[in-house]
Chains A and B, each alone.
Chain A
Amino acid sequence: MAEPMGFFTDTTVCIGCKACEIACKQWNQLPATNGGQNTISGVSYDNTRQLDGIHWRHVRFIEQFDTRDPNRTDGRWLLMSDVCKHCVQAGCLEVCPTGAIVRTEFDTVVIQSDVCNGCRACISACPFGVIGINPVSHTAQKCTLCYDRLKVGMEPACSKACPTDSIQFGTISQLRDRAQKRVGDLHQQGQTEAYLYGADDKIVGGLNSFFLLMDKPEVYGLPKDPQLPSRNLAPSGIGSGIGAVLVGLLGLLNFRKRRMDRFAAQGHRES
């Protein structure tokens, strides 16, 4: 088994060129939104909008401007190339009822498109809203961390295409060292809000695609405390169990008591 591999996405150097999106679409030959006739989102310069079955990379534009200020002097852009997090504890893999979602030798999470039957359990299980149905295969799809390229010793298409090295590919230990150094540098330059999201093991055991962020996770559309769906397994099982016992008791009392009643009233129908 190879060492765990992943992405380190440094959002401070992302210029929003979307080369990663294009490289991903091209390598994986993904269909275009609405056959290339996309509509304009109307609320952002970003028209990709979200990650889903045909968008495995998505450069998120966070336009922090005060609309009441006509000069827009105080605004800033935050740009982040979003992707599947390849969680160390993956909610999608956990619930997948066909075993289509597997963990590879690179510690990444991959959906097999010939096994998935499109039940969509993984979509509601993913804490980051990464997965969607691909309209061509009618199966759930997402970033594979270019499993096919990794297999032959190439780096993923997106990080290869990134002109500013905002997306970096490598072993997790290597990337983590690099990321920590970058955070240290930024802190030295006075950018003390810089921090790493998912590099350690605090968020769902760790994210194999982790990020350097400059604002709260929510601003980037990331949950502060993502969880596995199975956290509700025991609470829900106990609830259902209590229900089964109560309903069983009610059945026992009602259907049995009646016999007693009738017995008292000389149950002539007893056979």
Chain B
Amino acid sequence: MPRELFTSPAHWTWLIVVYFFVGGIAGGSFFIAAMLDLVGNRADRSLSRLGYLVALPGIAIGGPLLILDLGRKERFWHMLVQSETFRPMFKWWSPISFGTWIVSAFGAFAFVAFLAALVRSGDRPQRGPLVPFHKIVYGLGPLSKLFLILGALTGLALAGYTGMLLSVTNRPVWANMNLFGINLLGLLFLASAVSAAAATLYLLGRRRGAGVEHESLHALTRFDDWVLGLELLVLIAAIVSLASFFGSVSAAWLAGWGALLIIGVLVLGILVPLVLYARPRMLGGNSGVLAAILVLVGSFLLRTVVVMSSETIESLERVAHGG
């Protein structure tokens, strides 16, 4: 029997699933926005602006969800400062520990960029409280570039560390997703988060009032198509990596979560949007909207399946074996 089946569930459930989803979108949105600002066009700013406007609310919802999940919420700061010695609390080998610092750092980047994005694109404010923030993001030349690069990397780290957090455990599914010496969970969550972020920005940017150039949206869907392709490959590899583990779990567990993963995530959440993005007129003018919504649903279901399948494995095992 795999060693992971001798362990206890941590009861990380819906709060964590929602955090993984929202936090991933926040990190991915910042990454896309910073990428557009770094290598894109000046005309992309109306889209990149949306990215920053999504990033801060995303982390502002996600962070508190993490605190809500604690048994002792008022002690959340114990993860940042050692409660007995008041030295900084940091373990580079513990994903929850370095994740705490990623969330905090990302919060700072997202805060600055959000305030800068409140200045309408094209405007060059002469005075007002937002001017310094606008200057940090756009007006300091190479320093602004550095800000965007570091922010983008932190955003990707936020999107990917959540998968690492699950894999650095002894729990079934999470710790089993290894292929050729690589654990695929961080990679899978990262691709899924960036793709969901692109879908979110597409839905927001498509509204008439947003003033986003058609070209920007087109690039966004093409980018999302590529990322979905990457996610598809990783997901297939992930399923293959778990194959040896399938022999020791109950058929009911496998059938239930397997069906949700293949129909909900692989087909509806990845394959269908992949086609719809590539052929935007397939279902009339709203194909892109449908594709983006499906990407979001698929991204949420992926996290649901990964987290909850591992959490529910014991109870179903017991039922299946009559013990």
Where the two chains meet, the residues of A that have a C-beta atom closer than 8 Å to any C-beta of B are 43, 50, 52, 91, 94-100, 112, 114-121, 123-133, 137-140, 218, 221-227, 229-230, 232-233, 235-240, 242-244, 246-248, 250-256, 258-259, 262, 267, 269-271
Q: Are A247 and B167 in contact (CB under 8 A)?
A: no
5 additional A-B residue pairs with CB within 8 Å, beyond A95-B91, A233-B164, A243-B186: A128-B7, A235-B167, A236-B167, A237-B186, A269-B43
Q: Are B41 and A232 in contact (CB under 8 A)?
A: no
* 4 nearest CB pairs, A to B: A118-B71, A240-B186, A117-B75, A138-B71
Known contacts A227-B3, A238-B182, A247-B230; is-contact A139 B71 (Cβ 8 Å): yes
Q: Are A256 and B40 in contact (CB under 8 A)?
A: yes
Q: Are A259 and B182 in contact (CB under 8 A)?
A: no
Name B's interface SS. helix
Known contacts A237-B186, A239-B185, A246-B230; is-contact A251 B32 (Cβ 8 Å): yes
Closest to A257 in B: B219
| 26 residue pairs from A and B, CB less than 8 Å apart | A43-B322, A52-B8, A91-B170, A97-B96, A97-B97, A100-B78, A116-B75, A117-B71, A117-B72, A120-B10, A120-B71, A123-B9, A124-B12, A133-B71, A140-B71, A230-B93, A239-B163, A239-B184, A243-B156, A243-B187, A247-B190, A247-B191, A255-B36, A255-B219, A262-B41, A269-B43
Closest to A130 in B: B8
Q: Categorize the interface residue count of chain B.
A: 35 or more
Q: Are B8 and A252 in contact (CB under 8 A)?
A: no
Q: Cβ of A138: which chain B residues have Cβ within 8 Å of it? A: 71-72
Q: Which of B36, B70, B183, B230 contacts A232 (CB 8 A)?
A: B183
Q: How far is the CA of A137 from the CA of B74 in the complex (A)?
A: 13
Q: Cβ of A120: which chain B residues have Cβ within 8 Å of it? A: 10-12, 71
Q: Cβ of A244: which chain B residues have Cβ within 8 Å of it? A: 153, 156-157, 160, 190
Q: Are B185 and A236 in contact (CB under 8 A)?
A: yes
Closest to A217 in B: B6
Q: How far is the CA of A112 from the CA of B12 in the complex (A)?
A: 22
Is B323 at the interface (CB under 8 A from chain A)? Answer: yes
Is B94 at the interface (CB under 8 A from chain A)? Answer: yes
Known contacts A246-B230, A254-B226, A258-B215; is-contact A98 B190 (Cβ 8 Å): no
Q: Are A232 and B227 in contact (CB under 8 A)?
A: no
